[in-house]
Homo-oligomer: A and B are copies of this chain.
Amino acid sequence: MKLDKLCGERFKEWPSDCVVDSHALMIRGGYMKPMANGIFSLYMPLKRVTRKIEQIIREEMDAIDGQEVMFPVCMPANIWQESGRYDSIGKEMMRFNDRTGSPMVLGMTHEEAAVHLVRDYANTYAKYPFMIYQIQTKFRDEARPRAGLIRVREFTMKDAYSFHTSQEDLEQYYDRCYKAYERIYARAGLPNVVAVASDSGMMGGSVSHEFMLLTPIGEDSIAICSECDYRANMEAAESIIKNEGNTETKALELVNTPNTSTIEDLCAFFSCKPQDTCKAVIYQRNHDDSFIVLFIRGDLEANETKLTNFLGCNIHPAVITAESPVCAGFTGPIGLDKNVTVLYDTSLIGLESLVCGGNKVDYHYTGLNIARDVGEVEYHDFAKIIEGGICPKCGKHTITVSRGIEVGNIFQLGTKYSKSMNMTYIDSEGKLQNPIMGCYGIGVGRLAASVCETYHDEYGPIWPMAIAPWQVHLCAVRANDPEVKAFADGLYEKLQAQGVEVIYDDRSVSAGFMFSDADLLGVPVRVIVSPRNLKEGVVELTTRDKSYSEKVPMDNITEAIEALIKKLS
């Protein structure tokens, strides 16, 4: 490819709407152009990167016996009604009617389509197990697209679906896929992606893992044990609190506490620690706005995912007005409106004397003993795990919390979809059974952005050879010099004839301009042909990461380039 005709604008200025490096560099480097919020067109360099990523994914999916198929982007609503997700998924799913008035949806995931495709075929146990996958465009109407390709509305995704006749078989396959994912990230240049236990969310099922690239710009929080191999998404990490101290019983007393609607104010007022307070965190159910009050130790935060899973419905932070059945800033367990759902976090177990809201403005109780003053209540885990918290696996206070980008996920779905969509097979004993499913996703564009996020400098991306848009960036400095032009043209043709992927810059621009464009394109091997070099009988060979630079005799240059490509592959 000749650079002078490569579509895409390259420029130096940091775009004002970019908050992460990969987003800024992909805009500055002519990789993509936004068309609407969270919707991008890709220029050739990024299309080449994503195609290479897709090919790596394809090879690894084929290696674990995956069958590449293709599901529609536009689906009739009826299969989503069968699974129940037509109603349970909210505004993220795009809906419309076709010309006949039939309701349609845009695919944001394809469990329903996968079951539809194989449910007639896979009617006896002998046809199991199998896995089907596709690499296809998806649309998810995200409320807050951000960070370029990290969170978009339209994206290319590899989604795979496996079907099994036993949980053991699913688990075996799940493990094969887990390992295939590790190979995919390693091949794409991200060997340090870690798998973490995750919440299954709208997918259903029980066991699931997310593959996380640990980076400060990540959207997810991940709890990692520094002593054992425990890793979990904050959403899914069990919070274990062992209360020591605070075992002195006091009498319950209602106290006037003006201007103490926050835990901070309250602790200052009573000279106590947040751990000695019983905080109320208040939500409302999305479907009927009914109230939920979670009581939790004052220093901890509520984990909304755990609450949602426990309640079986979506919730939002409460909007409290004069008509609400709770008193903002002063809600406590004693005398609370009976229509409110009350939950207790396990962090309150063993605390004998707490400060809590008095359910009227400017009043708190002190000396709260839940068992004595409220009665026997059920405690569940609703808290976010904390830095320095107890590891659920090894039991030590060794939890650290990091940020991560989710670059893939795998789910053990169980029979959620096969049951709801009535997919059955006859087992070896002649009985009808629902197959057990797994599903496995990787977002292609997000992975490309994650690699860029990991490998870049201030001048541009530094693509790993395996997914670089080209292998070699050939710069003819002073291409108006006939000798330079002739040598560079010849080299370009020779390399191409040998199957090397070359981007060739023979524009009449300064070397500085040329090199800053090359930095933005991030091609791993750079070859510089210039009058000065040629006078010395050499060509300059460097790497984009600036770790290598050598002058190679003109006659040996193709061999040297091929050796360097091999070394970097």
- A→B interface (CB under 8 Å): 1, 4-9, 30, 33, 35-36, 39-44, 46-48, 50-51, 65, 67-76, 79, 91-92, 94-96, 98-99, 102, 104, 106, 113, 116-118, 120-122, 126-127, 129-130, 132, 134, 136-137, 139, 141, 143, 153-154, 156
Q: Given A5-B130, A74-B39, A143-B99, verify A117-B68 contact (CB < 8 Å).
A: no
> Is B72 touching A141 in the complex (CB atoms < 8 A)?
no
Interfacial chain B residues near A99, Cβ < 8 Å: 91-92, 141, 143
> Is B35 touching A79 in the complex (CB atoms < 8 A)?
yes
> Is A95 touching B94 in the complex (CB atoms < 8 A)?
no
Interfacial chain B residues near A75, Cβ < 8 Å: 35-36, 39
Q: How far is the CA of A92 from the CA of B98 in the complex (A)?
A: 9
> Is A7 touching B137 in the complex (CB atoms < 8 A)?
no
A194 to B: closest C-beta gap in Å: 30
> Is B73 touching A44 in the complex (CB atoms < 8 A)?
no
> Is B76 touching A39 in the complex (CB atoms < 8 A)?
yes
Instruction: Choose among B1, B39, B121 the residue that contacts A72 (Cβ–Cβ < 8 A).
Output: B39
> Is B74 touching A139 in the complex (CB atoms < 8 A)?
yes
Interfacial chain B residues near A43, Cβ < 8 Å: 67, 69, 117
A312 to B: closest C-beta gap in Å: 24
Interfacial chain B residues near A121, Cβ < 8 Å: 7-9, 30
Interfacial chain B residues near A95, Cβ < 8 Å: 96
Instruction: Choose among B41, B48, B65, B106 the residue that contacts A71 (Cβ–Cβ < 8 A).
Output: B41
**Chain B, Cβ-Cβ closest to A5:** B130
Q: How far is the CA of A63 from the CA of B139 in the complex (A)?
A: 32
Interfacial chain B residues near A73, Cβ < 8 Å: 73, 137, 139, 154
A265 to B: closest C-beta gap in Å: 38
A486 to B: closest C-beta gap in Å: 22
A474 to B: closest C-beta gap in Å: 17
**Chain B, Cβ-Cβ closest to A98:** B141
Q: Given A73-B154, A117-B41, verify A5-B35 contact (CB < 8 Å).
A: no
A541 to B: closest C-beta gap in Å: 26
Q: How far is the CA of A12 from the CA of B472 in the complex (A)?
A: 53
With A6-B67, A47-B70, A136-B137 given, can you name 9 additional A-B contacts, CB distance below 8 Å? Answer: A7-B122, A35-B75, A35-B113, A36-B72, A44-B132, A47-B69, A73-B139, A96-B96, A98-B153
Q: How far is the CA of A388 from the CA of B134 in the complex (A)?
A: 50
**Chain B, Cβ-Cβ closest to A44:** B67
> Is A67 touching B132 in the complex (CB atoms < 8 A)?
no
Interfacial chain B residues near A156, Cβ < 8 Å: 70
24 contacts between A and B (CB under 8 A): A4-B127, A5-B127, A6-B67, A7-B121, A9-B121, A30-B121, A35-B72, A35-B113, A36-B72, A41-B69, A41-B70, A41-B71, A41-B116, A44-B132, A46-B70, A47-B68, A48-B68, A51-B68, A73-B154, A74-B153, A74-B154, A94-B96, A98-B153, A136-B137
Interfacial chain B residues near A143, Cβ < 8 Å: 99
Interfacial chain B residues near A122, Cβ < 8 Å: 7
**Chain B, Cβ-Cβ closest to A1:** B67
Q: How far is the CA of A134 from the CA of B51 in the complex (A)?
A: 12
A477 to B: closest C-beta gap in Å: 19
A179 to B: closest C-beta gap in Å: 20
> Is A116 touching B33 in the complex (CB atoms < 8 A)?
yes
Q: How far is the CA of A527 from the CA of B51 in the complex (A)?
A: 34
**Chain B, Cβ-Cβ closest to A507:** B126
> Is B117 touching A33 in the complex (CB atoms < 8 A)?
yes
Q: How far is the CA of A136 from the CA of B39 in the complex (A)?
A: 15
Residue in A36, A40, A50, A68 whose Cβ sees the most chain B Cβ within 10 Å: A36
Q: How far is the CA of A33 from the CA of B119 in the complex (A)?
A: 11
A495 to B: closest C-beta gap in Å: 16
Interfacial chain B residues near A154, Cβ < 8 Å: 72-74
A175 to B: closest C-beta gap in Å: 19
Interfacial chain B residues near A141, Cβ < 8 Å: 98-99
Q: How far is the CA of A6 from the CA of B4 in the complex (A)?
A: 47
A286 to B: closest C-beta gap in Å: 15
Interfacial chain B residues near A41, Cβ < 8 Å: 69-72, 113, 116-117
List the 9 closest pairs (A to B, CB-CB), nearest first. Answer: A96-B96, A42-B70, A44-B67, A36-B76, A91-B99, A41-B117, A39-B72, A99-B141, A5-B130
